[in-house]
Amino acid sequence: MRRIRITVSYDGTEYHGWQVQPGLATIQASLEGVLSEIEGDQIEGSVHVDGSGRTDAGVHALAQVAAFDLTNPIPLPNLKKAINRLLPRDIRVLETAEAHEGFHPRYDATAKSYEYRILRAEICPPFDRRYVYHYPYPLDEARMIQVARLLEGEHDFSAFAASDPADGLGRSKVRRIFSSCLTRDGDLLIYRVRGTGFLKHMVRNIVGVLLEAGKGNLGPADIEARLQPGCTIPAGPSAPARGLFLVGVEYQK
Give the CA diameter of the chain. 59
Residues facing 7 on adjacent strands: 65, 95
Whole-angstrom distance, CA of residue 181 vs CA of residue 151: 9
Angle between helices 27-39 and 76-86 (to 10 degrees): 120
Whole-angstrom distance, CA of residue 152 vs CA of residue 175: 10
Phi, psi of 52, rounded to the nearest 5 degrees: -75, -15
Those residues with Cβ within 8 angstroms of residue 107's Cβ, 6 or more apart along the chain or in another chain: none
Question: Mapped to the 3 state alphabet, what secondary structure does 113-145 carry?
Answer: EEEEEEECCCCCCCCCCCCCEECCCCCCHHHHH
**Given 56, 90, 128, 164, which residue is catalytic?**
56
164 is annotated as an active-site residue: no
Phi, psi of 245, rounded to the nearest 5 degrees: -130, 130
- According to DSSP, the β-strands at 153-156 and 174-185 are antiparallel
- Name the residues annotated as catalytic: 56
